Chains A and B, each alone.
Chain A
Amino acid sequence: MSPSQAILIENVRFRWKPDLPWCLEIPRLSLGLGESLFLHGPSGSGKSTLLNLIGGVVIADQGGVHVLGCDFRHTRATARDRIRADHIGFLFQQFNLVPYLTVVENVLLPCRFSKRRAERCLLQSASPLAEARRLLARLDIAPNLLQRRVTELSIGQQQRVAAARSIIGAPEIIVADEPTSALDAGRQMAFLELLLEQCAQSSSSLLFVSHDRRLESAFSRTLALDEINQAHAKERDA
């Protein structure tokens, strides 16, 4: 049965240690297939914890985290690693590239850990390498930069390389954690447009986490994490 939601979080509670208070209590959060969701919230509202739950790196103490129909609470760690590798592209704020690899090698990284993503490259291009080149060209990375180390690139260029890496192999879900915060305002919108366009092209669902609400108009839906995270709300009320 194919899932109706890319991500479905229901009645989830999570805390880092048993003697600490809940840091995440979410009755429901969903990301539809092909949907782009803007999730905003201040620092400490539980964004990183939520990403770790969605990535299957940590497991909810209560409730269910379903990624493409798979309940992470009842999935082994190795299987969760596999789901993450095959179906989720992560895009982080900055310094998210492997410094000793070239631009192209960084983009190809997910294909090294996921055969499925390597194979899905062939839907668009002749090989994963060709797909990496295609995506990089689409994201305005000049061909002469492809064999350079990522550390030689500007912040804006690095962020576009990271975007290409999250998109390669057309994963069903792309999770972006403040990917535009290191860019200036003019480049933020341009980058966002490129990202949305690529997601649309590969029918990927996009969960975009940011505290900068100027960007939310570009998304089909907006949610405030500090409002849906009751643990945060209780802390605030107290």
Chain B
Amino acid sequence: MNPFIPILAARSAWNRRLTLGMMVLSVALSVVLLVGIERLRTDARTSFAEAVSGTDLIVGARANPVELLLYAVFRIGAATNNMGWPSYLALADDPAVAWTVPLSLGDSHRGFAVLGTTSAYFDHFRHGDRTPLKIAQGKRFEQLFDTVIGADVATASGYRLGDRITLSHGAGDTVLAEHGDKPFTVVGILARTGTPVDRTVHVSLEAIEAIHLNWQGGAPVPGLSIPAEFARKFNLTPKSITAALVGLHNRSDVFAAQRRINAARAEPLVAVMPGVALDNLWQMVGTAERTMTGISALVAAVSFIGLVAVVLAGLGERRRELAVLRSVGAAPRDVFTLLAFEGLLITLSGVVLGLALLTAAASLLGEFVLTRYGVVLRVRLPDGAELSMLLAIIATGLAASLVPGYRAYRMALADGLAPRL
């Protein structure tokens, strides 16, 4: 190929930059859609898969396993039923069980979930590649109204050790009332994990009981006030919890343990293997994912048809230019290459712009998506499936460019040196 052709193609494209710019934008938006959806999908899966590790079973009151996983680990949705404290104690006594972590959810602080748990949480909870939680500043909760906050809670609210915070009854959009009479002191801030832990306010199980002492049926009892200093005098053993994380001595016992828990007679419970529940979740959303990918592919197809139409429409006006190139020695195949190169240039520019837009979107919206949906959007170079997708886009762009290329080739042959216009 004549090395001048790419330069000529670039100069020619720059000359028609407004029209072709629109095409580049159109290709870029296709890239944003196709790669963005793929990236969101894999980031969501990674975020979810990394949120809990090393836990063999999640146990809760009988419910849909996916729902249990969603609210116990991802703080999405709400528990319809709690499991009784005696059931939890029985679970902890199971000889196959190595450790248990009780989870009590339902309250919030400025939109962040409040989790009532025990010190075992800091010992046994694992995320990512079995990474334990690390306290970046301060210590675990010891006193009744101590709290350990996640990294995002600290960053978003600017809390430091020693700050006092109050909790609200209810979670998410259904905050009902403040537990203003019993403030908590921030005694610890966790290191960032990239999981829902970062957006969680951790308190002791007893504290959850304590703030609800003067509450009944989800509302404060009118006229009844129990000051914080008296709360300690009450029996703060919880009556129920939302769910429990369970670790077994031996992973091979997981099916037997699951069967035992599911068959418990004292209370209808369900034991969920996190990996299996996640797979179920992906199966549920799989159809939606495929539909989205299909729509994006259609959008990409429309862009490329547009690309062919725009370049073809411009060919009529360029016949003289192509004839001039022929007269200075360009062969018909040079003319073909010129047009094909132009299409490739538009496609490549579209891909680069699309990736830039994606990166910008991930940087700008990352925080929002993380807080709102718990998905970590990673700013990164395309890999794996994304690369194949980009290669497919480029190949389609090149294939689409061959149409005007071939047309120009035929024109160059027919027009000769003096096109009849």
Point out residues on A near B: beta carbons under 8 Å: 48, 51-52, 55, 57-58, 77-78, 81-82, 84-86, 90, 92, 95-101, 105, 109-110, 112-114, 165, 177
| B4 A57 Cβ-Cβ under 8 A | no
Q: Which of B11, B325, B327, B417 has the most CB of A within 10 A?
A: B327
Closest 10 CB pairs of A and B: A85-B329, A100-B15, A113-B329, A90-B327, A112-B4, A52-B416, A57-B416, A81-B331, A48-B418, A110-B328
User: Chain B: which residue is nearest A84 at the CB level?
Assistant: B329
Minimum Cβ distance to chain B for residue A86 (Å): 7
Residues of B contacting A114 in the complex (Cβ-Cβ under 8 angstroms): 329
A-B contacts, 22 listed (Cβ < 8 Å): A48-B416, A51-B416, A51-B417, A51-B418, A52-B417, A55-B417, A58-B416, A81-B331, A82-B329, A84-B329, A85-B329, A92-B324, A92-B327, A92-B418, A95-B320, A99-B321, A100-B12, A109-B325, A109-B328, A113-B4, A113-B329, A113-B334
Closest to B12 in A: A100
Chain B 313-351 interface mask (CB, 8 Å, partner A; 1/0): 000000011001111111110100000000000000000
Chain A residues, Cβ within 8 Å of B320: 95-96
B255 at the interface (CB under 8 A from A): no
Among A90, A97, A112, point to the contact of B2 (Cβ < 8 A).
A112
Q: Is B14 an interface residue (CB 8 A)?
A: yes
The total of chain B residues at the interface (CB under 8 A) is 22
Q: Which of A51, A81, A92, A95 contacts B329 (CB 8 A)?
A: A81
B418 in contact with A165 (CB, 8 Å) = no
In this complex, the member of A57, A58, A97, A177 whose beta carbon has the largest number of chain B beta carbons within 10 angstroms is A57
Question: How many contacts A-B (CB < 8 Å)?
Answer: 73
Closest chain A CB from B409 CB (angstroms): 12
Kindly list chain A residues whose C-beta atoms are within 8 Å of the C-beta of B327. Answer: 55, 84, 90, 92, 96
Nearest A residue to B4 via CB reads A112
Contact residue among A48, A58, A92, A113 (Cβ-Cβ distance under 8 Å from B330): A113
Nearest Cβ on chain B to A151's Cβ, whole angstroms: 10
Q: Which of B15, B326, B332, B418 has the most CB of A within 10 A?
A: B418
Tell me whether B321 and A98 are in contact (CB under 8 A): yes
Asked whether, in the complex, the Cβ of B325 is within 8 Å of the Cβ of A98, the reply is yes
Distance in Å from the Cβ of A18 to the closest Cβ of chain B?
A: 16
Binary A-proximity of B162-179 (CB < 8 A = 1, otherwise 0): 000000000000000000
CB distance from B68 to the nearest CB of A (A): 64
Question: Is the pair A113, B11 in contact by a Cβ cutoff of 8 Å?
Answer: no
Q: In the complex, which residues of chain B have a beta carbon less than 8 angstroms from the beta carbon of A57?
A: 326, 416-417
The answer for the CA separation of A113 and B329 in the assembled complex, in Å, is: 6
Are the C-beta atoms of B11 and A101 separated by less than 8 Å?
Answer: yes
Bound-state CA distance A105–B4 (Å) is 11
Residue of B nearest to A93 (CB): B418
Residue in A48, A99, A105, A177 whose CB lies within 8 Å of B15: A99
With beta carbons under 8 angstroms apart, the residue of B14, B324, B417 that contacts A97 is B324
* CA gap between A128 and B271 in the complex, in Å: 81
- In the complex, chain A residues whose CB is within 8 Å of the CB of B334: 113
Q: Which residues of A contact B321 (CB under 8 A)?
A: 98-99
* Extra pairs beyond A48-B418, A51-B417 (6, CB < 8 Å): A55-B417, A82-B329, A98-B324, A101-B11, A109-B324, A113-B330
